[in-house]
Structure 1
Amino acid sequence: MDQYIRQYGRRLYGLCRTLCASPHDADDLYQDTWLKAVKAFEQYDSARPFEPWLTRICVNTYRSSLRRLARSPIFNGFSTTEEKESALNRVPAPAKPDYLPLYEAIDSLPEKLRVTVVLFYFEDMDIHTTAQVLGVPPGTVKSRLNKARSKLKEVLLDGADLSL
């Protein structure tokens, strides 16, 4: 496992930082991902690439934490689901100052679109690998990317709100 951590650790941590709003949350996600990978290593099919398997564990762990957070009593004080989602979407993503408007626009995308964009563009995965990680057909990845690009273009050029 040490070899995999040395080979994929930096890239995995980059994914965690991209997905999470705070460095602390990214650290937790990184550790949880490796812990789950170690526990499930016997299930890993060595005939398949390791990185998509590890990335899928990370994305699923991230999604689980979002579901847990959504059920948290702290967030149950909202009167509507839209109000809760709006509050979650306002959490700033870590970004370089030059790209802050783009990162904010990506962060405000609906979760399915945002995760697809992050895997495809920020993790440099191709359509098929992204589809494999997300557990959807390649056509769905293409559709989500197209929809995300349209929404991003709209918000970046017109200043529209994506949360609608």
Structure 2
Amino acid sequence: MSRPPTSRQKARIFDEYLAAAARAGDRAAFTRLAERWQPKLLAHAFRLLGEGEAARDIVQEAWADIVRGLSRLDDARAFPAWAYRIVTRRAADQIRKRQRERKLSAAYASEVKSMPQVELAAEMSADTAPLRAAMAILPAEQRAAIALFYTEDFSVAEIAAALNVPAGTVKTRLMHARRKLRAAMEGGESHG
């Protein structure tokens, strides 16, 4: 006797249906798909970039890519990983652009610009604030992997596709991220 599908499984099935319908030209399905995935893609972009406005810009550009490429998506089940990979690629381009701009700026000025504070801090609830603070110190690639694994319930293979890295790299990033989070949540090296 099989168990009824979980709410996550139902959501994945619904997303698969929406992606297939959108791919076939159903505008209402695409609108619904975008409504469901906009917050997730925005959170992913924010994890990678650490800046709300830049994340919103990247996701907007990613949706343009998604619209253009959706008809070529062979498997509707692959939509989540495919969409995340588009956002990841756009964020990587933005990070490279920022690095070039910083190098150019450093050539003209010796002062270091401070990074903007996390805009979403006000939205954090008190019970998740320590975990979110610990996640904020992780390198972007570890933060993205751990968030996709735990918040989106992606498999290692799906994360690999979304981040465009080998599965072994995902496993390594998850291992290091878990280790760092555990140490941060237990008070760092005080157990040493």
User: What TM-score do you get using the length of structure 2 for normalisation?
Assistant: 0.65
Per the TM alignment, residue 106 of structure 1 is displaced from its structure 2 partner at its CA by 1.2
Structure 2 residue 12 is the aligned partner of structure 1 residue 12:
no
Per the TM alignment, residue 39 of structure 1 is displaced from its structure 2 partner at its CA by 2.5
Q: Take 1:103 and 1:75, find their aligned partners in 2: how far apart are those partners?
A: 33
Partner SS for 1:71: helix
Q: Which residue matches 2:3?
A: none
Matched, 1:92 2:118: yes
Contact 1:19 1:118 in 2 (8 A): no
Distance 1:10 1:52 in 2: 15
State the match for 2:169 in structure 1: 140
Q: Distance in 2 between matches of 1:134 and 1:68?
A: 19
Check conservation: 1:12, 1:55, Cα contact below 8 A. Answer: no
Number of the residue aligned with 1:71: 100
Q: Displacement of 1:142 after TM fit? A: 1.7
Q: Tell whether 2:57 aligns with 1:28.
A: yes
* Match in the other structure for 2:138: 109
How many angstroms does 1:27 deviate by?
2.5
TM-score after normalising by structure 1 = 0.75
Instruction: Report deviation, 1:130.
Output: 0.8
Give 1:11's aligned amino acid. W
Secondary structure of the residue aligned to 1:94 is helix
Percent sequence identity over matched residues? 30
Match of 2:150 among 110, 118, 121: 121
In 1, Cα distance between equivalents of 2:84 and 2:92: 12
Gap change, CA 1:122 and 1:150, over 3 Å in 2? same
Query: Contact 1:93–1:103 (CA<8 Å) still a contact in 2?
Result: no
Q: Residues of 2 paired with 1:61 and 1:15: CA distance?
A: 11
Take 1:147 and 1:67, find their aligned partners in 2: how far apart are those partners?
24
Deviates more, 1:130-139 or 1:9-18: 9-18
Contact 2:145 2:159 in 1 (8 A): yes
The superposition leaves residues 93-124 of structure 1 with CA deviations (integer Å, 9 ceiling, x where unpaired) of: 62513222222221221122112112212222
Contact 1:69–1:75 under 8 Å retained in 2: no
Cα deviation code 1:108-156 (max 9, x no counterpart) = 2112211211221222211111112122232321221111010111222
Q: How many residues align?
A: 154
Which secondary structure state, in structure 1, belongs to the residue aligned with residue 101 of structure 2?
coil
Distance change in 2, residues 1:5/1:120 (3 Å): farther
| TM-aligned CA distance change 1:119 to 1:5, over 3 Å | farther
8 Å contact kept, 1:29–1:58? yes
